[in-house]
Amino acid sequence: MFPRDQWYKLGLLLYMLVWFMGSFWMGGMIKSGAIVHWLGVELRAVEEYVYYALAGAIGGTLYAMRLFHAFYDQISDRWILWYLLRPIKCAGAAVMTIVLFQSGIMLLQTGTSMEAKIGIAFLVGFGYGKLMDKLKVLTETLFNGNNEKTSGDQPPK
């Protein structure tokens, strides 16, 4: 039998595969019209945002699977939560990033097509850490007036 940590790793791999393949499957089911309601929500009203979330989850999961492969022998209990939350955080970040682009708060020269936005959402999921760094700088600039570390993230001096 596998040692305990091997079972965790197998479970993580299956979890990521379900997210990865399930996101493609869900997008196809919505596009085909096979799923029109999900958790009490009519998907037609939020269909675009569901696609962005799914693309972000695909990007985040792909990145996580790449790291899972590269650092398989170094995975510890500390990283399990990172792997479990990665697709969820990336899906949310992808949707909100598209909203920030559409609102004009963040600027990017791309087409207005759905494919371009889905591509951006995928890149947001794949580059989630870098996006969070940029959003932190943006919020510090918008709300502090400068880029000093005076936010609630730092302990008081």
| Tens-digit pLDDT profile for residues 75-91 | 887 888 889 999 999 99
Mean pLDDT of 48-74: 93
| The two structure tokens encoding residue 26 | 């869900």
Residue written as token pair 């955080």: 89
Helix (H, G, I), strand (E, B) or coil at 41: strand
The predicted model scores a pTM of 0.82
Start-end of H helices in 33-148: 43-70, 77-103, 114-126, 128-144
pLDDT per position as a tens digit, 4-26:
667 888 889 999 999 999 999 99
Residue 30: predicted pLDDT: 87
Distance between CA 16 and CA 23 in Å, rounded? 11
Q: Is the pLDDT of residue 157 over 60?
A: no
